[in-house]
């Protein structure tokens, strides 16, 4: 290698070393030490105390986080953690950031129902204008819930958002799902916690489902993440 060539190689290396890193879409840090693979312990007592007064029933209170979901709502983030039992998932909402101080809401969810429409006609009958989804109230089990989103007196439109799903890698999403969802809630007597119903039409690469989940407010102090 000649001196000239050596100089060129060194100059190129120096340029590469000094050049700013190529911009890449950085994922926001996760709140409350939550992460895929982390072990989650939930204080079961508040959920036990709601027995008979809510649809929600906590199964396993300690299990690993299997999959992470992330929804970007332009300044607000929904961090979703799907637990190992395939029944329970935790949603942490953060506003204006994703650190612990930005946490504005935590809800512990359980799947209540899942319908798989075979075609568009079936989907319309389950979640279309003729269905109850989007009406001001919604009944699940023995309880009636009030709609949270939308202000119209009649049926309101489902809210669309995209969820990135991380089930194989912490930083690269395996796939994205399109959601069209509606949220309902109700107060629980003699409890500071509220119970929610989330109905979501989920359009994922290999599936189309109408999923109903039941959730209860979770106090971050209920959580121990290892």
Partner 1 sequence: MSGILTKLWTALRGAANEAGEAAVDANATRILDQEIRDADGELRDARVALSEMMGKQSVEQNHLAEKRAKLEEYAGYIRQTLAKQKQAQGAGQSAEAAQSGALAQEIAAKYAEQEAQVKASENVIAEYGKNVDVLKQKITAGETAIRTLKQRADTVKAKQHVIKASAAVAAASSGTDTHARSALESLERIERRQEESLAQMDAANKLAAESSGEALEERLRKAGIIPSASAATDVLARFQSEAAGGKPGQAS
Contacts with partner 1 in 69-108 (CB under 8 A)?
99-101, 103
Minimum distance of partner 1 from residue 28's CB (angstroms): 17
**Which pairs with CB-CB distance under 8 Å and at least 24 residues apart come from 92-96?**
92/31, 92/32, 92/34, 94/31
Name the residue among 42, 19, 22, 38 with its Cα closest to residue 30: 38
Minimum distance of partner 1 from residue 29's CB (angstroms): 13
| β-pair type (207-217, 103-115) | antiparallel
Count the helix, strand and coil residues of the chain and give each as a percent rounded to the nearest 5: 15, 45, 40
Complex with partner 1: residue 207 or 219, whichever CB lies closer: 219
Site string for partner 1, 29-48 (x = CB under 8 A): --------------x-xx--
Contacts with partner 1 in 189-208 (CB under 8 A)?
190-193
Minimum distance of partner 1 from residue 221's CB (angstroms): 4
| 176 contacts 70 by C-beta, under 8 angstroms | no
Contacts of 46 (CB under 8 A, 6+ apart): 191, 193, 216, 219, 222
φ, ψ of residue 2 to 5 degrees: the values are -75, 165
52 counts as binding partner 1 under rule CB under 8 A: no
Minimum distance of partner 1 from residue 179's CB (angstroms): 28
Site string for partner 1, 207-226 (x = CB under 8 A): ------------xxxx----
Q: Catalog residues that contact partner 1 under the rule CB under 8 A.
A: 43, 45-46, 49, 99-101, 103, 190-193, 219-222
């Amino acid at each position: 290698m000649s001196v000239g060539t050596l100089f060129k190689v060194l100059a190129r290396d120096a340029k590469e070393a000094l050049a700013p890193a190529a911009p890449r879409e950085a994922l926001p840090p996760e709140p409350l030490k939550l992460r895929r693979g982390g072990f989650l312990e939930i204080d079961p007592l508040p959920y036990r105390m709601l027995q008979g007064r809510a649809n929600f029933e906590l199964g396993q209170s300690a299990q690993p986080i299997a999959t992470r979901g992330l929804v970007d709502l332009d300044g607000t983030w929904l961090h979703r953690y799907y637990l190992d039992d395939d029944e329970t998932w935790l949603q942490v909402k953060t506003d204006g950031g994703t650190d612990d101080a930005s946490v504005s809401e935590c809800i512990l969810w359980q799947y209540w129902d899942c319908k798989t429409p075979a075609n568009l006609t079936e989907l319309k009958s389950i979640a279309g204008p003729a269905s109850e989804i989007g009406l001001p109230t919604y009944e699940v089990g023995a309880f009636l819930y009030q709609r949270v989103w939308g202000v119209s007196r009649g049926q309101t439109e489902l809210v669309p958002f995209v969820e990135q799903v991380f089930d194989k890698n912490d930083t690269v999403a395996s796939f994205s799902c399109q959601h069209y969802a509606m949220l309902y809630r109700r107060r629980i007597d003699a409890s500071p916690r509220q119970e929610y119903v989330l109905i979501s039409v989920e359009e994922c690469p290999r599936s189309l489902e109408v999923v109903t989940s039941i959730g209860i407010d979770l106090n971050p102090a209920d959580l121990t993440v290892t």
